[in-house]
Chains A and B, each alone.
Chain A
Amino acid sequence: MLKPQTKGLLLDTTRCIGCGACALACKERNKLPKTSDDVLKDELSDKTYSVVKQVGPRYVRRMCMHCVTPSCASACPVAALEKSAAGPVIYHESKCMGCRYCMIACPFGIPKYEWEKKAPLVRKCDLCADRLEKGLKTGCATACPTGATSFGDRDALIAEAKERFRANPGRYNEHIYGIEEVGGTSVLIISDGKAEELGYPAGLDGTAPAFLTWRVLNIIPDIVMTSAVLLGGIYWIRNRRDEVEAAEGSHHETPKEH
């Protein structure tokens, strides 16, 4: 399903110095207002699509993971969210009706809402889809001075992560977060800590949550057909009895009790 050339990001917390360049570049690219004097204290919101958080001794980015099988896009009743072929999970705002099911569904709590507005929209990182189209890197990857955020093809990023594991024995907790988790993500994380030490949900299943829904939705046509036949059958049998009774002249105006 996932084309090998899909773009993604590799986040390496061992290289992150918490300068916040990514977060500010994100603001710049998306023309978002300043929301905090201290970039590390900022929170994701409709005005902030990417933050750097200090979690224990590490700096960890939070942003949309651009899941391979995104829960948000699966949940959206009007297909306003879509996993594009290039990798980004993009948002068609004119379709959105504001049910906020995407926010419920996202396992990472990423989509944010413009609660204050009268015609609110969902807001989140779109992996700089327009920059990608022009052949540019994402804003955050462009700004990152240390290579803690690197941009590339997902396959190449996975290879790069493995290369870093190999070249720096003992430096990493050798797990690439996002290869398996929730069925894979286009934003991958490597670190010397475990997922829970980074404040990321740990122990996520390799199955995309969306599949849990599809499994049930897929059997619906069968359920409909079977029940239709069943109900129709019951109706036919139960009512035929009356007809037969009527034909035999034993039909009661008020049906029998019990």
Chain B
Amino acid sequence: MPKFEVPRFTFWRGVLLVILALGTYSTVVRVFQGLAGSTNLSDSFPWGIWIGFDILCGVALAAGGFTISATVYIFNLEKFRPIVRPAILTAFLGYVLVIVALLYDLGRPWNVWHPLVMWNPHSVMFEVGWCVTLYTTVLALEFSPIVLERFKMTKTLHVMHFIMPLLVVLGVLLSTLHQSSLGSFYLIVPTKLHALWYSPLIPLYFFLTALTLGCAMTIVESFLSHRAFGKQLEMELLVPLGRVALLILALTSVIRFADFRHRGILGLPFQATYESRLWLAEMLIGVLAPGVLLAIPKVRKHTTGLFLAALLIVMGVVMNRLNVSITGMERSSGQIYVPAFTEIAVTLSVVGVGFLIFALAVKFLPVFPEHEMKEARPIVVPAGGNVSGQPIRSLPVPALVVVALAFFGAVALGADGVRRREVDPGPPAPSATKPELAAALASFTPPAEIVFPQAPDSPGPASFRHASHVDASAPDCLSCHGNTYSFLGRKEAPPAGQMHDTKHCGGCHDGTSAFAIEADCSPCHKAE
């Protein structure tokens, strides 16, 4: 076990610190000012990046866990065993962080457990809630041997090894279900989600992209751990993963093409709308570019090439989830959503905390095989078998991510003018002219006369006629209703004797708005 040492201050650690500070500030804002104070969400746009990124992408990014554990335990491809632990650790961390992020987004986070006891099996969200809860538990169990090993609890360890295959099968089932169900969320909004993303097949797309992402994330993680911890690169494992990713990418594209043709929207991506631009960006970054890279064997087997392709896939899936949850929902909402600073800070912090815990776990728990870590300590980059190895350390990863995000952002901004024209509702319709109103008024009979109780000294009962109180050229019921008289309780006429005061007839019959009450009784009171 490595000795504890005071961490050195590096640039990226500084960045992390700043992010966490901003995240803490935003958390305070979220707690004390509610959703209104901490987000740009609104009635027309109720789901923002906390759902679109933290939940949809978060769950997808954790797909490495089930992809790899299935490969090793179920398909018995033992050679992948060295990367099982990091994959499960990332998945577990991912899910815990997803749940934490969900607490930010829920209006009543203290009720987060409700789906476990208040059932609605018709709801996709209900199913996802259960799956995520169960799967997080399964992941914790799958991860537990690592902790048990660390504390040398051999007995429990044996039990865990025994039930592991069961856990893995359960985990794979649960992941399959909710990875696709995150897409099923959107099945219920055929009129709201843009046709480029809405499809009856959206659950399948979400599942397939999660699978591709599972492979890509494993590759990216391996490279990042290689850089960060000097861990050996298992190119002989990663290259086949790249090939699987390529296969699923191709399969998804074929299905998507058939689906678009079936729905007759093959032309839609080329209509130069706000949505079509972002759709094309998504396809270019997440499907075409990595597809081409992976299809060339030389590039695929090259460390940099493989890493780049995997990184592109990851970013493509992130763009897909954001497009589904945000871009695709904007037009129907008639609103443009830009996340608030606090929303972004929380999201970045969640990612930052993930990195931090992963690093700590790697340091203090046997996540990577012991010998590898020792071997690789004085960062010597192994050539990686028969693969043409290039020191991957020269690749500026954060810079790459920034460039890709900037590209996506630029496309979004570039299309912004288009978007504002297209999404913003036009000027309000010109108001109807009064004659039309009067015509409408003419076609109905106002409610019947109301006869008020007669006061002792009164010459006769007073009656109120609606017809004589509505000006046909400027009809308005609200001058009285809504101020003086209730709509619901208008059965009760004012008590005898109070009719003349300012709360009742006298309110208007004051000699200014209408003829005064005292002058002449006959307009209202019929003499006996």
Residues of chain B within 8 A of A241, CB atoms compared: 76
Chain B neighbourhood of A120, CB < 8 A = 34-35, 107-108
Distance in Å from the Cβ of A113 to the closest Cβ of chain B?
Answer: 6
Is residue A162 within 8 Å, beta carbon to beta carbon, of the partner chain?
Answer: no
In the assembled complex, B165 has its CB within 8 A of some CB on chain A: yes
Q: Is A74 an interface residue (CB 8 A)?
A: yes
A17 touches B74 (CB 8 A): no
In angstroms, Cα B439 to Cα A14, docked, is 10
Q: Is the CB of B107 within 8 A of A100?
A: yes
Please, how many angstroms separate the alpha-carbon atoms of A209 and B46 in the complex? 19
In the complex the two chains form, is A235's CB within 8 Å of B74's CB? yes
> Is B417 close to A, CB under 8 A?
no
One of A1-9, A23-31, A151-159 at the interface: A23-31
Pair A45/B43 contact, Cβ less than 8 Å = yes
B169 to chain A: closest residue by CB: A231
The answer to whether residues A104 and B488 also contact, given A20-B478, A147-B444, A235-B169 and a CB cut-off of 8 A, is no
B173 with A24: CB separation less than 8 A: no
Across the interface, name the chain B residue whose C-beta is closest to A55.
Answer: B429
Our pick among B47, B70, B177, B236 for the contact of A100 (Cβ within 8 Å) is B47
- For residue B136, CB closer than 8 A to chain A, the reply is no
Q: Are A143 and B488 in contact, CB atoms less than 8 angstroms apart? A: yes
Contact indicator per residue, chain B 52-85, by CB within 8 Å of chain A (1) or not (0): 0000000000000000001001111011000000
Q: List the B side residues contacting A117 at CB < 8 Å.
A: 34
Closest to B116 in A: A78
Tell me if A39 and B120 are in contact (CB < 8 A).
no
Cβ of A208 to closest chain B Cβ, rounded Å: 9
Do A213 and B124 touch (CB < 8 A)?
yes
In the complex, chain B residues whose CB is within 8 Å of the CB of A16: 440
Say yes or no for B260: interface residue by CB 8 A criterion: no
Closest to B165 in A: A235
A134 at the interface (CB under 8 A from B): no
Stretch from B137-145, B184-192, B455-463 forming part of the interface with A: B184-192
Closest to A122 in B: B107
Indicate if B118 sits at the interface (CB-CB under 8 A). yes
In the complex, whether A85 has a CB less than 8 A from a CB of chain B is: no
Known contacts A75-B124, A255-B79; is-contact A98 B173 (Cβ 8 Å): no
Contact A224 B190 (CB under 8 A): no
Q: A39-B478, A217-B127, A238-B74 are in contact. Are A21 and B487 (CB under 8 A)?
A: yes
Are B429 and A242 in contact (CB-based, < 8 A)? no
A222: shortest Cβ distance to chain B, in Å? 12
Q: A57-B436, A97-B111, A145-B477 are in contact. Are A224 and B177 (CB under 8 A)?
A: yes
B342 near A: Cβ within 8 Å?
no
Verify A75–B36 contact, CB threshold 8 A.
Answer: no
Docked Cα-Cα span, A115 to B374, in Å, equals 53
In the complex, the answer to whether B432 meets A56 with C-beta atoms within 8 Å is yes
**How many CB-defined contacts (below 8 Å) exist between A and B?**
232
| A86 interfacial contact with B, CB 8 Å | no
Chain B residues bordering chain A, tally (CB within 8 A): 77
Q: Is A244 interfacial (CB-CB < 8 Å)?
A: no
> What 0/1 readout, one digit per residue, does chain B (105-120) give for beta carbons within 8 Å of chain A?
1111101101100111
Q: Does B44 contact A (CB under 8 A)?
A: yes
When C-beta atoms are compared, the residue in chain B nearest to A207 turns out to be B190
A90 located at the interface, meaning its Cβ lies under 8 Å from any Cβ of chain B in the complex:
no
B41 at the binding interface (Cβ < 8 Å): yes
Taking CB atoms and an 8 Å cut-off, the chain A residues in 112-136 that contact chain B are: 112-121
A220 and B169 form a contact (CB under 8 A): no
Q: Mark A96-118, 1 if CB is under 8 A from B, else 0.
A: 11111101110101001111111
From residue B427, how far is it (CB to closest CB) to chain A in Å? 13
Cα distance A143–B79 in the bound complex, in angstroms: 75
- Interface flag for B468 (CB, 8 Å): no
Q: How far is the CB of A193 from chain B (nearest CB, A)?
A: 12
Contacting residue for B118 out of A75, A79, A255, CB 8 A: A79
Known A98-B108, A235-B165; judge A255-B46 contact (CB<8 A): no
Q: Are B108 and A96 in contact (CB under 8 A)?
A: yes
A143 touches B487 (CB 8 A): yes
| Contact in complex: B124, A19 (CB < 8 Å) | no
* B-side contacts of A204, CB under 8 Å: 191
0/1 interface trace, chain A 166-207, chain B, CB 8 Å (1 if under): 000000000000000000000000000000000001001100
Query: A221-258: which have CB < 8 Å to B?
Result: 223-224, 227-228, 231-232, 234-235, 238-239, 241-242, 254-255, 257
User: Which residues does chain B contribute within 8 Å of A228, judged by CB atoms?
Assistant: 169, 173
B184 in complex: contacting residue of A80, A148, A217, CB < 8 Å: A217
* B446 in contact (CB, < 8 A): yes
A76 contacts the other chain (Cβ, under 8 Å)? yes
CB A110 to nearest CB in B, in angstroms, measures: 10
Does chain B have a CB within 8 A of A15?
yes
For the complex formed, measure the closest distance between the CB of A241 and the CB atoms of chain B, giving whole angstroms. 8
The answer to whether A242 touches B76, judged by C-beta atoms less than 8 angstroms apart, is: yes
| Neighbouring A residues of B242 by C-beta, 8 Å | none
Chain B 470-520 interface residues, beta-carbon cutoff 8 Å to A? 475-478, 481-482, 486-488
Q: Are A217 and B121 in contact (CB under 8 A)?
A: yes
* Smallest Cβ-Cβ distance to A71: which chain B residue: B188
In contact, B173 and A227 (Cβ under 8 angstroms): yes
- Cβ B189 vs Cβ A19 within 8 A: no
Q: How far is the CB of A250 from chain B (nearest CB, A)?
A: 15
- B441 touches A (CB below 8 Å): yes
Give CA–CA (A47, B421) in the complex, Å: 30
Known: A25-B487, A139-B488, A146-B444. Contact between A210 and B122, CB under 8 A?
yes
**A–B pairs, 15, beta carbons within 8 Å:** A17-B444, A20-B478, A21-B482, A56-B429, A71-B188, A75-B125, A78-B115, A79-B120, A109-B43, A145-B447, A146-B444, A217-B122, A217-B124, A228-B173, A241-B76
Q: Rank and list the top 8 A-B pairs by shortest CB-CB distance, nearest first.
A: A98-B107, A143-B487, A238-B76, A25-B487, A19-B477, A97-B111, A77-B125, A79-B120
